[in-house]
Amino acid sequence: MRQVRRIALLVESSRNYGRGLLRGISSYVREHGYWSFFFQPHGLEDGAPVWLGRWEGDGIIARVNDEQMAEVLSAVRVPVVDLRNSVTTAGFPGIGPDNRLVARLAADHFLERGFRQFGFCGMPRGVYRYMDQRRDSFVEILAEAGYVCSAFELSANPRGARGWDNAQDRLARWIARLPKPVAVMACNDDHGIRVLDACQRAEVSVPEEAAVLGVDDDQTLCTLSAPPLSSVNLDVEGIGYAAAELLDRLMGGERPPEKTIELPPRGVVTRQSTDILATDDNEVAMALRFIRERACDGIRVGDVVRHVLISRSSLERRFKAVLGRTPSLEIQRIQMDRAKQLLSETTLSLETVARRSGFGSRNYFSEVFHKSIGLTPGQYRRKYSER
């Protein structure tokens, strides 16, 4: 009989992110055999449990919080996979989201809606390395596009109710000073909810004056807020699955990877907090809404022209002035996003994917997809499909 591995899971179960990691780990184990788990309900900032010092097992998957926890884990002398990647000196192989791609998705989401003023609300620098990566990447990507981004630091744990109100009032004053309309990326959904609250305090309308985007796509938090919060989906279950896969290889004697393994986010889940186009050109706004609603029905530029009742040359000139691309490219972009989603999240045939994403035929779809992405639809599916 195959040896039953004994695995310690030091992952918080109190939050949606941790529960998603656990679901991904569970998926791997169901596919590849039985592991015996040592697990207790765990908070995000909890250290290593007391029992770990006496534990005799085969491997550990953990969200390593600090140097003290890293020292305890090192003393156990079994393979460890780190899912937080905050303690750079720990030396454990890590897996997490690609935070530059997270920032790229956020920037593109706002730029596609015509925003030219930007803000970022994050943790104080140095608290979490991955939060610093999101802020720095967002600022850099916008700078490369010719825009300036104002950054605001907001502690995750203000002291008491008065400390909370003081911090929120300070955040509200920052939002009030930003030029409008403004697009604000928050480092996570927690901060996104606080930005929405601060907008109410500052009497700044969302999304008309301030569009707000979070990270994590915690559906409970995102739909709790008013208006509901748009957010970047990090494919947390995929990260958990990949962590279990890596630990299995390490326990089999494979050498750990030299760099942190970074998985791409799945995309932006758009809710009301960013569902707007920041432009005074009503015809362009009308055309963009029509394209977003009907692109996957196979519409062409002529259909858009008939919908907005202006000439094609005028629409294309004004569209490019607002978004920097033509209506045709915008139709194709929406179709490609839908195709990538269907390829990664379903097992539908390529003919069905082509039809549902608005392309006329499988051959035309494959040609356009390969030219745009650099991969065939089949290669993309194998690379990015859910486990």
> Domain residue spans in the chain?
5-95+236-263, 99-234+268-274, 282-384
Query: Which two structure tokens, joined as six digits, stand for 377?
Result: 């639809």
- Rounded to 5 degrees, what are φ and ψ at 192? -60, -40
Whole-number pLDDT of residue 19: 92
* Nearest one of 266, 291, 282 to 112, comparing CA atoms: 291
CA pair distance 91, 74, nearest whole angstrom: 9
Do the Cβ atoms of 109 and 274 come closer than 8 Å?
yes
CA pair distance 345, 343, nearest whole angstrom: 6
Q: Model pTM greater than 0.85?
A: no
Whole-number pLDDT of residue 89: 64
Close Cβ partners of 102 (under 8 Å, ≥ 6 residues apart): 134, 137, 215, 232, 234, 265
Do the Cβ atoms of 230 and 270 come closer than 8 Å?
yes
5-95+236-263 with 99-234+268-274: one CATH topology? yes
Helix 301-308 to helix 312-323 angle, to the nearest 10 degrees? 100
Give the residues across from 153 on adjacent strands. Answer: 122
For the domain made up of 5-95+236-263, give the CATH fold.
Rossmann fold (3.40.50)
- Sheet with 210-215: strands ordered across: 149-153, 118-122, 182-186, 210-215, 230-233, 267-269
Close Cβ partners of 126 (under 8 Å, ≥ 6 residues apart): 132
Each residue of 276-298: pLDDT tens digit? 777 778 888 888 888 988 999 99
Only one residue has tokens 């203000």, namely 158
Radius of gyration of the chain (CA): 23
Weakly modelled stretches of the chain, pLDDT under 70 = 1-2, 88-90, 160, 385-387
Query: Which two structure tokens, joined as six digits, stand for 370?
Result: 């390969």
Q: Domain 99-234+268-274 sits in which CATH superfamily?
A: Response regulator (3.40.50.2300)
Whole-number pLDDT of residue 387: 46
At CA 4, angle to CA 2 and CA 9, rounded to 5? Answer: 145
Helix ranges (DSSP H) in 33-187 = 67-76, 99-112, 129-144, 160-177
Distances (CA, A) of 6 to 36, 74, 78: 5, 17, 11
For the domain made up of 282-384, give the CATH fold.
Arc Repressor Mutant, subunit A (1.10.10)
Whole-number pLDDT of residue 250: 95
Whole-number pLDDT of residue 54: 83
Only one residue has tokens 């310690």, namely 8
Whole-number pLDDT of residue 163: 84
Whole-number pLDDT of residue 159: 72
Q: Find the distance separating the first CA and the last CA of the chain, reported in whole Å.
A: 26
DSSP H or E run through 96: strand 95-97
Do the Cβ atoms of 115 and 211 come closer than 8 Å?
yes
CA pair distance 109, 97, nearest whole angstrom: 18
